[in-house]
């Protein structure tokens, strides 16, 4: 159990690092992980929406559909929070890249 948790943590950390470099597939993978609870993470639709939104902004067309699909299960407040988190992620990573 501890080894699977360590590997899940490593996988998430590596996907986040790739996402910070602008990898649309990493952003999408994070959306999938949070929307399905895969990789040992709890389902979190706000986080999933954030990552799908960022993946869509980076050209991942499948992320557009996934974002729309989970939006049906979210409140307007949750969607607004996800959008706020996505903007914060963009701002933080744009500052790092500059």
DSSP letters for 34-81: HHHTGGGPPP-HHHHHHHHHHHHHTT-HHHHHHHHHHHTTS-HHHHHH
pLDDT exceeds 50 at position 1 = no
Tokens 């890249």 sit on residue: 97
Supply the pLDDT for residue 96. Answer: 65
Residue range of the domain that includes 85: 2-97
What is the tens place of the pLDDT at every residue in 30-87?
Answer: 999 999 998 778 899 999 999 999 999 999 999 999 999 999 999 999 999 999 999 9
Read off the pTM: 0.87
Cα–Cα distance for residue pair 65/18, rounded to 1 Å:
22
- Residue 18, C-beta contacts closer than 8 angstroms, at least 6 positions apart: 25, 26
Supply the pLDDT for residue 39. Answer: 74
Rg of the chain's alpha carbons, rounded to an integer?
13
Cα–Cα distance for residue pair 41/61, rounded to 1 Å:
24
Domain total of the chain: 1
């Amino acid at each position: 159990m501890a080894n699977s948790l360590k590997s899940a943590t490593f996988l998430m950390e590596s996907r986040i690092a790739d996402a910070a470099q602008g990898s649309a597939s990493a952003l999408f993978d994070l959306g999938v992980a949070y929307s399905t609870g895969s990789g040992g993470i709890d389902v979190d639709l706000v986080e999933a929406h954030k990552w799908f939104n960022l993946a869509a902004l980076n050209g991942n067309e499948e992320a557009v559909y996934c974002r729309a699909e989970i939006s049906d299960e979210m409140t307007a407040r949750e969607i607004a929070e996800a959008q706020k988190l996505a903007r914060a992620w963009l701002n933080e990573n744009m500052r790092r890249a500059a």
